[in-house]
Structures are given as C-alpha cells and as structure tokens.
Amino acid sequence: MASPTRQRERDPETTEQTEESERERVCDECDGGTLVKSEDQGELVCDQCGLIVEGTNIDHGPEWRAFNHSERQNKSRVGAPTTQTMHDKGLTTSIDWKNQDAYGRSISSDKRNQMRRLRKWQERIRTKDAGERNLQFALSETDRMASSLAIPRSVREVACVIYRRALDEDLIRGRSIEGVATSTLYAACRMEGIPRSLEEVAAVSRVERKEIGRTYRYVAQELNLEMEPVNPKKYVPRFCSELELSEEVQVKANEIIDVTTEKGLLSGKSPTGYAAAAIYAASLLCNEKKTQREVSDVAQVTEVTIRNRYQEQIEAMGIHE
C-alpha cells in the first residue's frame, strides 16, 4: 500500500500556546506557586513547593535543542534523510510491492489489479522528462556495480555526487551513460581510498576497460578531482584474505612494498601487479607458497607481470633464489 515517507511535525505556535497555558495554572497545594514544565523530564512541577502535578506528559518536541528562532528553522526537519543515489533524492512516495493490507492480510483480486496500475503510473510520473530518466538509469547502474563490488554506501553517495556534477557541466554529451557512471564510481573509490582496480570495475560494467579509463581521465580533469596515487598496500589485506594467507605474509608483503618503494621501483608500475608480486614473494619467504597462477587470478593481472615485478623486488631486497 502507499506509504508516505514524510511525517508531520507539531506546529511550534501550538506548542508555545500549550506551554503558555500551563504556566498560567496555579498549584492547588500551596495556592501560590506557578506550574512550569520540566524540560528534561517533561513533568508539570510547581516552582515553589516542588509538587509534581502531571508526570506522564508526552514530549511532542524534537530531539534537538534550539536557542533562537533561526536555529529552530535550520534544524526543523521531517521524513527520511535525502540521498544522492536516487534521481529524486528519495523524496517521492513509494508503493509497496506486497499485495497485503495494513494487517498483513491478502487483498482481493480487484484491489490487486488496482495496485498494479497504481505502481505502473507511479513509476511513470516519477520522471518528468528524458533527462530525469537518464539520471535514474545512471544512478541505478552505479548502485548495481557498487553492490557487485561490495562498495560502502558512503562511497556510492560520492559517486552519485560526481555524476551529478558531470551532468551539470554537460560532460555526458557524446559519451555513454554507462561509461560515465562507471568512471565516476571508479573515481569515488580512488578519492575515498577504497582499493578497487580498473579491471575489477570493468568486470562488473557493460563498458570496455579502455573507454572507462578514457572517460575517467576526462571527468577527473574537467572537474578538477584531486586523485592521489594508489598505495599497493591497500590491496594486500583483500588479496591475502582471498588466498587464505596468514597475517605473517601480510606483514612481510607490506615490508617488501615499503622497502622497494623507497628505492623507486613503484614509479610507473601498476599498484595491483606490484601488490600481487609482493604477496607472491612473501608467501615464498614465509613457507606458504602460492603459485603465480593463483595470485594472478585473485589480483586480475597476468603471470608475466607478477614474474617481472617479483624479480625486481627480490633484487632490491637483496634476496637470492
């Protein structure tokens, strides 16, 4: 059934009138004290003798405090919080897909057909033009890919904000919606420090890796997104977990990355391949050997890349096979 997402808040003027009428009441015990409302307990108390006249009052006010009118207006709010992951920011009413009434009982066939028609028209009127329909499709694609990659909700919000900025700057024209949505999701992962490689993002996208990389560079340049180089150490915990390696291997892999990075070996190298090679070397040193094929499948890099990076790292570490 229709479930509005907004809730009404009590009118401040009505609340003030009620409080003023309570202050005018006089205590029946001492015949001189004025009844005041306790702010912390919601009780009606005499200010002279301390008699509690009413102790079961319901506090209809908000949970926040305001000390002036402007602060009260700024903090006033109703309904669920808005979200950037929906084209209408989650402000419209949604009709539940369950064919049940408020008591959980199944509705009749006539009501079921009526609710089906209402759902259909509800979906139609949520988007007023082609622009909103395209935005809805892009944000749904972003949410689908983020779910496949197990990306947190906060990063999805950042990705949707970047896409909206690209839409406002007219960067979508001449490019596919899926390509821009994928590139903004990858950019959000880079900005928030979530280790997701371009290959992993391309695996869940409907766009080729080359187009995603080209669109990502264009969007990042036009929107002046500050991107720091990806640290290979961020990939180590996830790769080791998927390979079922111990904590000792993770520590050794991070040590290899730190030492070899100081010697300048990371410059111009892929962070995923660099992390994969360090994990492979650490597994050999800790007697938890994994094959290059196993590591390459997890890191989604070629065995040749792991072999080349591995040779460079062990030479820099002064380790001889």
Give the global pTM.
0.65
**Closest by CA position to 235, among listed 202, 175, 276:** 276
Q: Is 27 annotated as a binding residue?
A: yes
CATH of region 130-223: 1.10.472.10
Taking the chain (321 residues) in runs of 10, the rounded mean pLDDT of each run is 41 48 65 71 75 68 72 68 78 78 86 89 79 88 92 92 92 92 94 88 92 93 87 91 91 92 87 92 91 91 92 84 59
Tokens coding 319: 């380790």
Query: What pLDDT is recorded for position 316?
Result: 87
SS3 257: helix
Query: What pLDDT is recorded for position 12?
Result: 46
Per-domain boundaries in the chain? 69-99+106-126, 130-223, 232-317
Q: Is 189 annotated as a binding residue?
A: no
Is the CATH number of domain 232-317 1.20.1530.20? no
Q: Which helix (H) or strand (E) holds 37?
A: strand 35-37
Q: Is 49 annotated as a binding residue?
A: yes
Q: Is 46 annotated as a binding residue?
A: yes
Distance CA 138, CA 171 (A): 14
8 Å CB contact between 222 and 171: yes
Query: What pLDDT is recorded for position 85?
Result: 83
